Amino acid sequence: MAVEKKKFYERPGFWKILLAVALGFAFIAFLLGWIGFGVPDWQAFTRNNSSTQEFYGLWAYCQQAPPYYSTTCKHWGDAATQLYNGSQPNFISTADGLITTGMIFLSLGLMAGIVAAILPLLCYAAGVLTFLGFLFIIIGLPIFGQQSNDFSKLLGDTSYNKRYGFWLMVPTIILSFIAAILFIITAFLYQKYGFGNIATNTKSRRAYGGQQFLGPANAIPGMPYAMRPGMMPYPYPPPGPVVPSLLSQYIARRMPRYYAPIVVRPTVVSAFPQPSTSGAGGQPIYVTPAYYRPAVVQRSSSAPTVNLTGRAVYAPTVRVS
C-alpha cells in the first residue's frame, strides 16, 4: 500500500519557517514604529505671514527659522504654553496615548515571539499581543492624520503636509498585522504537526505522541459472544492472530530429557553358564529415574519362547524325549 505523501504544511519543521518570517516582519515593524514614534516630523505647515516652517509630532514641536533654518524643538507642554495659551490640541493627547499603547503591545509581541523559539506555544501570546499593537496603532494614526489637517486649516496656514515620521507608521501597521497572523498560524501548525523547538532536528528522529494507531486485538476463533448468525457478515471474517503467552513459549522451547525405551529382559534360571548380553543392544546408557519401577516378568520354565524382536534370544535348554 502506497504511503500518502504529506502536504507541505504538515511537515514537522514547517512551523519554524513561519516563525522566522513572523519574527522578521515583527522586528521590521518594531524598528519602523519606534523610529516614527520618536521623531517630531509628522505634520509640517507654514503660516501666511511667516517664512518659518513649523512641524510637530507626538512629543515635540519644532521650528526652522531663516536664514540658517536651524531647528529648535520643545516638548509639547512648553510649546503649548508659548504658542497656544497653554492648551495642547486634544488630538495630540489621544493619538499619543493610542499609539504609545500600540507600540508597547508590539514590543511585547516581538519578545514573546523570540521566546517562542524555545517554547513554541507562546506564539499564541505573540500573535495576540502583536494584533493588539496593530489595533491600537491603526485607531490612533487616522485620528492624528485627520485632526492635524483640520487644525492647520483652522490656523489659516498657507500650506501643510505630512512628513516621514507619520508615513513610517503605515508599514508598521501592515507588517504588524501580517506578523500577528503568522504567529497564530505557527502556533496552530506546531500544536498539530510539530514537536520540539527551533533547535530540534526534525529529520533525525520521528515524531512521537499524538493519536496512537493500535494493531488488531487478539481474537478467539468463532462467533463473538451473544452474536446471532444473522448479525455477522458471511463468510465470517477471519479472526486475528493469537499470540501465545510468554509462559507457553518458554515451555515449548525447553528441551525434554531423553529416556531410552526400557528393554525388559526375562530372567532365565539354568544350570549352564549363560553368556553376557550387556551392551549387545547398542543403546546408550541412561540413568533410570528414581520414580520409575520396571515391571517384573515372571515366566514358567516350560513356556515356549516367542521371538518377535529379531534379536538373539537365549532360552533354557529343552530336553526332547
Q: What are phi and psi of 153, to 5 degrees?
A: -65, -35
pLDDT single digits (tens) 37-82: 999 889 888 877 777 788 888 888 888 877 777 778 888 877 777 6
Domains observed in the chain: 8-42+87-193 (1.20.140.150)
For residue 258, the number of C-alpha atoms closer than 13 Å in the C-beta half-sphere is: 4
**Do the Cβ atoms of 49 and 42 come closer than 8 Å?**
no
- Average model confidence (pLDDT) for the chain? 76
Amino acid at 273: P
d(CA 144, CA 43): 9
Q: Which three-class secondary structure state does DSSP give residue 161? A: strand
- Give residue 139's pLDDT: 95
> How far is Cα 278 from Cα 191, in angstroms, rounded to an integer?
83
DSSP 269: -
* Confidence band for 1, pLDDT divided at 50, 70 and 90: very low
The better pLDDT of the pair 219, 129 is held by 129
SS (H, E, C) 231-260: HCCCCCCCCCCCCCCHHHHHHHHCCCCCCC
Burial class of residue 140 (count of CB atoms within 10 Å of its CB; 0-12, 13-18, 19+): buried
Instruction: Collapse the DSSP code of 73 into the 3-class scheme (helix H, G, I; strand E, B; otherwise coil) and give the result.
Output: strand
| Residue 216 pLDDT greater than 70, yes or no | no
Exposed, middle or buried, 57 (CB in 10 Å: 0-12/13-18/19+)? Answer: buried
Neighbouring CB atoms inside 10 A of 166's CB total 21
pLDDT digits (tens, 9 = 90+) for 263-315: 556 665 555 565 555 545 555 555 555 555 555 556 666 666 666 566 665 55
3-state SS assignment for residue 160: strand
Q: What is the DSSP letter of 294?
A: P
Mean pLDDT of 112-139: 95
Per-residue pLDDT at 18: 93
Q: What is the dihedral of CA 220, 221, 224, 226, to 10 degrees?
A: -100
137 close to 102: Cβ distance less than 8 angstroms: yes
Full-prediction pTM beyond 0.85? no
Report in angstroms the alpha-carbon separations of 263 from 7, 77, 258, 310. Answer: 77, 125, 15, 14
The answer to whether the CB of 179 falls within 8 A of the CB of 22 is yes
